[in-house]
Structures are given as structure tokens and as C-alpha cells.
Structure 1
């Protein structure tokens, strides 16, 4: 049969008939005679006559693959790409060549070249797009990866795909190229497509932080705050914005504006109160600082913390604002909570003494006396009370009673004995 077909090949004049006979000869040698070498020669002959002849391409591809004749398989596909007019078929041929170079020959450079050629012929060829992304990434050719994604964005079928590609571009700028400013521009492009995209807002914050673009970071934080319904999250975002304005941009008024917004939402948010207090102190805005302390005091349970805060408020009223009565009130409230709080007792005694408010001073020392344990300290305080009664209030009975308490506290306390 093979001999008959060979004679027919020599006789036929029609090109198509001749191609069919050549292919048939290949089939006979492959399937009937089991002679792959001759089958390959006849299949090659059919393709020499018509490089785009599909039956010949399929049959020869199978045999080349079985024999791992990769160079021959590449040549066959390139000949097909050269012969056909349809761009989609040309693209498929180059894609197959690229896969052979990568998988079978380990030549990533050639694989990139042919996948790129395939995509130039058919921009929708997903397999070559994905392979090219992977190969270029592995090669560290990140700018080319970005260019490829940009082409993908131009042809993207919907917003979701565009956003996904833009995220990948942004990640490359951040993680691979260390170009956070370019990443910021990319994430802003996402927000033009979807202004409410929380992931893009977070990515913009991260890239602005990495770039040291603190003003843009504040804007991104406030953008998220404007789109967030959860009040605790809004407060955290505004507080971070305030910290950046203060510490990075030296914009204390801007920081205070954000802190005031927080306290309008939650007057008990202690971190904002503490931050506002520090800012008012640095700015010397003592009245505002005092009001902030009052807000903080309102949420502080009675105890050591509230006592310390009241003492601080007293000092502020006394030394910076010049409101002595307010200072006295703060010190009184402090010792009402903790009668043994020495700093408040001393401050209150000093003010009352300077104002010659002797009866009130006696009351303060009486409070102090009740909290003392040390005998000599009790004796000394009782003696001071006695001196006030004797020298300032003209009460000998009061003085004697106080001196007696001093002696009871310490029997050999000479000042009281002598008095």
C-alpha cells in the first residue's frame, strides 16, 4: 500500500491531493508499518508543501513530543506561525513555542520572547499573559511586569479586573522596586474607580507612611474615617492623624482640631485627653489645659490617680493661671480623697498661711495630724496647730489643747513643754 501511495504522489498534479497523499503515507508508516522515522519524513513532506496543514501538524507534534525532538517541534510551530494569516493562530503557535522553551529546554529568555510575541498578536491570550507575568517576575524585570499589567488594564473586561491589576502594580512598587510614591499614585487610581475601596485606602496609608509623605498619610486616614461608620475605628484613625500632625508635621493646631473632634464623639477617650494635655502644655495654653484635666478627672475613679491629677490641677491654677481659690479647691478635693497626700497638704498649708487664713490652716493641719503615725511628726504638727491658736487666733484654750496633744504624742517634745 505504501508503494502505491508513493507512486500516486509522483503522478498527482493537484497540490491539495498531493498533501493528502503525503499525510496518508505518514499515517501508513506510523500506524500500519510501525516505522516512525519514515512517518516523520512523510509528515514533514506534507508540511513542507503546506506549513499550516492541521492534520500534519497534529501528527508530527505528537511524534516530535514522544521523541523529545524539541528543536524540530519549535521549528514546525514557527513555520506555522509564518504561514498563517490569522493573528489568533499565529499567537497560539508562539505560545506553544514559548512553553517548549520554558518547560523542555529551560530557556526562560526565549520563553519570554515568544509569550510576548503571542500577546502582541492576541492581547486576550490569558495563558501567555500569566506565564509572562511569572517569568518576568522570576527574572526580576519588574518594570516590564508593570507594563504588562498596564496593557492588561487597558483591555480589562470590568472594574474588578482593573482594580486587581492595579493592586499588583502597587505591590510591585512597594515590595520589589521600593518606590512607595509610585505606589501611592497607583492606589489613587483605584480610588478613582472605586472611591470606597477600603483595601486601596489602607494600601495608600501604608505607601504614604513608607514614603514619609505625612500630609498624604493624614489625608488617607481622614478619608477612611469619613467612610467608616464604626465610631471606635473613627476615633483611632483621628487620633493617629493627630499624632502625625503633631510629631511629623509640627502642626499642633491641626492636631488639636482632630483631638477635639474625637472628644466630641467620646469625651471619655483617655488617649485623646492625654494627647491634648501634652499639646496645651507645650503651647502654654493653661486654661485649655485645665479644662482638659477636668475632663480627664471626670472619668478617673477616686484613688491615687485622681489625687495626683487634682494636685497637678492645683499647681496649674496656682502657678500658671493665678486663680488661688481654684487651686485651694483642687488641693482640698485631693486631701478629701487621700488625707495623707503630703504634696497637697503642704501646698494648701502654704497658700493658707500666705493668705493669713488661720482657721482654715488649722483645719488642714488637723487633717494632716489624723493621718500621721510617726510620734515626732504628730508632735510637731500638733505644736504648729498650738502656735496658730496662741499667736494668730488668740485662743489659749485651743493652744493648750494642741500642746497637750503634742506631749501625748511624744512626752519629751521640748517645744510643747516649753510653750
Structure 2
């Protein structure tokens, strides 16, 4: 029937296209192509031309396996109508398969205005934004595209996150903050809220130097997850910057309750003690914190030493001696061991009036370091008070031998000579000292 119509009217495009469809159904693709070409030659209207060009492109692509020729026909269809969806989608598929991303972006940009369903426009624009983020890097255009999506769908999480990534690359920090705050209003599950809150806190701390705002976001995070270790470390850092000592201590205490790691607990108690001792000037509570460390680790030398110093400062000599003794016995640091024995001797001597024990500790320090000047001076003083001038002379002689300053050494030698002359009646040795 269609053949008869074409015989009577060779320029009947409709009949030619119907004949072509019959050839297609019969699997006669050679004749199908020839008939479509005849129809294209006589087609006058834009609608017929673009549809026939697209059909020929599909024939070449799917049956003749000539993708390049197919692309040329799809492009010709778009010359007739730049928003012709079938041709756009065929080119989109081919460029996507080939990885020709710049061409793909161009096609998607032409496709978006041709779509009538908002959700389809959103999907297409999100794809364009993704290409501008990675395969065809262009952060400003990515940001613009995602912003266009949000005008169509203000709660679209994919677009918000893409826009946030783009603003971060562009270092547009105020815009990034605004986008993340919008995302925070949209996300519903806790894990997503935690990620956004941590991001906001980091930006407030690092880009805007606003520790107070960072701390507010971190407190919101910790309400959701009271065991979030990274949030504790961050909020502690911000409270310290704010010099908000009570809040800082509260954060440390919550962190201690949340963590299962013993070494972390020890460190946190140490920080608490440091705040009480150095910032609040509350020695009693600093002592409590250090004692908590010792409860966790009885051989923790820094805590034991800090306790010794605090008790000494408070005038609790017995406790100070007890902790200094533990430090001296536990430390592997030779210098610290010497200092500990010296300090024990000093407390025993000056605060407890136990010179015999004090002398024993001084001598332990001197055995470890014969050049320790404060110990030599202390032993010299004890020897002089005990009228043991021979020992006193030996300590003075030892002290001068380790004294590098010429003037100080000369003073010691004069004193040594006087002691030998007046107390030991050893004129010859005195002269040698002088």
C-alpha cells in the first residue's frame, strides 16, 4: 500500500517513513536505510528532518556498528533542533561510553533546558556538576551548577554536598559555612549530622579563628555521640584557646569517662592537673588529678614528681619526701635521680630536721654525680656545722675542681686555704690552696 502511495507521490515523507518501518520490522536494514535516506531528501519540515536524521543515526549505530557516522547524523539532527531530546540522549550515551567528557558536558548542558520534568533537570544538572568536579575540573562552574539545582530543589543533599566541596576548593569559606548549615537542617541521621558538625567546627576554628563557635558545634556533636574521641580533642583545644578553664576541665572529665584507653586517661588527668596548678592555682585539686594518674599507673614518674613538688609547696614535707623517694627509685634518668636525692636531702635537712638522713641522701646524689654543686654545698654546710673540718675541706676542694667560673673558683680556694690554716692547722696545704 505504502509503495503504491510513493509511486503516485514520490515526495510523500509519511509514506516513505512508514515503508521504512516495515523494512525495519522485517530486518531488512539495507532497504530500511535507503528508504530513510529518500525520506530525508524530500523532508521539508524541521520535525520530520530531525526525526529521520536521528533514526538514520540509530540505524548506523545499532545495526551497522558505525558509531562515528551515527554521531554525525545525531549532530545534524541537533543542527535542526538543538534541544531534540532523542538525539541528545543518543550522543550522551556515546560520549559517556567513550569517556569524552568535555563533549558529554556540552550535550548535558543542552539537554537540561529541553527537559520538562523538574526531577529530570535536577538529575542532569547534578551529573554536570559531578563532571565539573572531576573529569572536567572547573570548580566555579561546578558551584554554579549545584546552586542551580538547589534553586529547583532546596533540600537536595547531593547538590548541597557538591556545592560544599566546590566552595572548599574555591576557598569560599563564608559560602561553605552557609551551605553546611543548610545541610545540617536537612540531614536526618546522626552519622551525617556528626560529619557536618565536625566540618563546621573545623572551619570556625581554622579559617575564622572563632574558638567559641567551634566549641558550640562540638558540644552539639557530643550531645549526639558522647564518646566521639576526635570531638573531645577538638573541643579541649578550643576551650584552651578561649581560656575557659572550667569548661576545659569539664571536657577533660567527660573525655576520661568516654575513653577506654588507659594512656589517654593518664594524659587527660595530667592536663586537668596542669590547668588546676598553672591556671586556676588550686593545688589541692591538682594533687587529686595527679593522684588519679598514680592510681592508674603507680610508676608514673612525671605524676610522682609533680606530687612531690606540690606537697613540698604546701609544706607537707613527709608526703613530699615520700613521692620524691619514689621518683628517685623509679626514674631511669640519671640527672633526675640526682636531683631527686638532693631535694629529699634538702627537705629532710631544712624542714624535718633530720640531718643524718639528709646526709645519706646527699651522699647518694654525690655518688651518682660527683660534680653536683648544690649537693657539695649542702654537704659542706653539714660538715661545718658538725665541726667535721676535714670533710668540709674535701667537699670544698671537690666543689672548686668542678667550678668553671674563675672568680667563683678563686673564692672557694681562698675559703679552702683559710679552713686548712685555721681549723686543720695545715699551713702547707693552705698555701697550696692559696
1:199 matched to which residue of 2?
158
Q: Compute the displacement of 1:238 (Å).
A: 0.8
Change (3 A) 1:55 1:271: closer
State which of 316, 335, 339 in structure 1 corresponds to 2:294: 335
Alignment of 1:58 with 2:19, yes or no, is yes
State which of 204, 220, 229 in structure 1 corresponds to 2:179: 220
CA distance in 2: counterparts of 1:56 and 1:327, whole angstroms:
93
1:347 matched to which residue of 2?
306
CA displacement, residues 6-43 of structure 1 (integer Å, 9 cap, x when unaligned): xxxxxxxxxxxxxx9x956xxxxxxxxxxxxxxxxxx9
2:52 matched to which residue of 1?
93
SS of residue in 2 equivalent to 1:107? helix
2:211 matched to which residue of 1?
252
Structure 2 regions of 5+ residues with no counterpart? Answer: 368-375, 387-434
Alignment of 1:232-271 (within 5 A): 232-271=191-230
1:144 matched to which residue of 2?
106
State which of 236, 254, 269 in structure 2 corresponds to 1:295: 254
Alignment of 1:165 with 2:127, yes or no, is no
CA distance in 1: counterparts of 2:156 and 2:21, whole angstroms:
52
1:323 matched to which residue of 2?
282
Q: Compute the displacement of 1:275 (Å).
A: 1.0
CA distance in 2: counterparts of 1:184 and 1:200, whole angstroms:
9
Contact 1:98-1:114 at 8 Å conserved across structures: no
Alignment of 1:19-418 (within 5 A): 46=8, 48=10, 50-52=11-13, 54=15, 58=19, 76-82=38-44, 88-99=47-58, 106-107=68-69, 110-117=72-79, 119=81, 126-134=85-93, 140-142=102-104, 144-153=106-115, 155-156=116-117, 159-301=118-260, 303-365=262-324, 368=327, 388=347, 391-394=350-353
CA displacement, residues 80-127 of structure 1 (integer Å, 9 cap, x when unaligned): 312xx6x6444433323444676559436641343215646xx6x653
Change (3 A) 1:293 1:369: same
RMSD: 4.8
SS of residue in 2 equivalent to 1:141? helix
Change (3 A) 1:75 1:234: closer
Q: TM-score, normalised by structure 1?
A: 0.67
Contact 2:95-2:103 at 8 Å conserved across structures: yes
CA distance in 2: counterparts of 1:328 and 1:118, whole angstroms:
86
Contact 2:215-2:238 at 8 Å conserved across structures: yes
Change (3 A) 1:356 1:216: same
Contact 2:20-2:31 at 8 Å conserved across structures: no
Contact 2:105-2:128 at 8 Å conserved across structures: no
CA distance in 2: counterparts of 1:368 and 1:53, whole angstroms:
103
CA displacement, residues 258-315 of structure 1 (integer Å, 9 cap, x when unaligned): 1122233344322111012223444555554334323323334584432333233323
CA distance in 2: counterparts of 1:389 and 1:99, whole angstroms:
101
Q: TM-score, normalised by structure 2?
A: 0.65
SS of residue in 1 equivalent to 2:315? coil
Q: Compute the displacement of 1:364 (Å).
A: 2.9
CA displacement, residues 242-271 of structure 1 (integer Å, 9 cap, x when unaligned): 123323444433322211222333443221
CA distance in 2: counterparts of 1:302 and 1:105, whole angstroms:
62
Matched residue count: 367
1:40 matched to which residue of 2?
none
Contact 1:365-1:385 at 8 Å conserved across structures: yes
Q: Compute the displacement of 1:161 (Å).
A: 1.9
Decide which moves more: 133-142 or 91-100.
133-142
Q: Compute the displacement of 1:62 (Å).
A: 5.4
